[in-house]
Amino acid sequence: MEIWINPACSKCRSALSLLDAEGTEYTVRRYLEDVPSEDEIRAVLERLGLEPWDITRTQEAAAKELGLKDWPRDAGARDRWIAALAAHPKLIQRPIITADDGTAVVARSEDAVRDALSR
């Protein structure tokens, strides 16, 4: 299992603490330093069953600068959203856990982390 984190994020630290408490083996990806490619973002979205706008932190300064709130949320705009996430990784919701069964979860709650652990 891999977890995408920002070490400054309290929800990321909580998820790591829970994984550690459960004795889970995982790999940490500091996605602000090791920025995912557009293809990696597409793969995670497929695993999540979500669209790029579903995992975008729209309140970040970069989102406001890009005017994301006015971008269409449809298939035609999907690649534009993915490109924005790759160019501005701070916009990616966190933490994201990719589970061993090929799925993924946005692990912002203890329940979501436990869901990933059950897979």
Give phi and psi for 39, each to the nearest 5.
-65, -40
User: Distance (Å, rounded) from C-alpha 107 to C-alpha 111?
Assistant: 8
Which of 93, 82, 84 is CA-nearest to residue 64? 84
Place of tokens 């929800």: 11
Q: Give catalytic status of residue 12 as yes or no.
A: no
Which one of 1, 2, 9, 119 is the catalytic residue?
9
Q: What is the largest CA-CA distance in the chain?
A: 43
Q: Find the DSSP H helices in the chain.
A: 10-21, 38-48, 61-66, 78-87, 110-117
Catalytic amino acids? Answer: 9
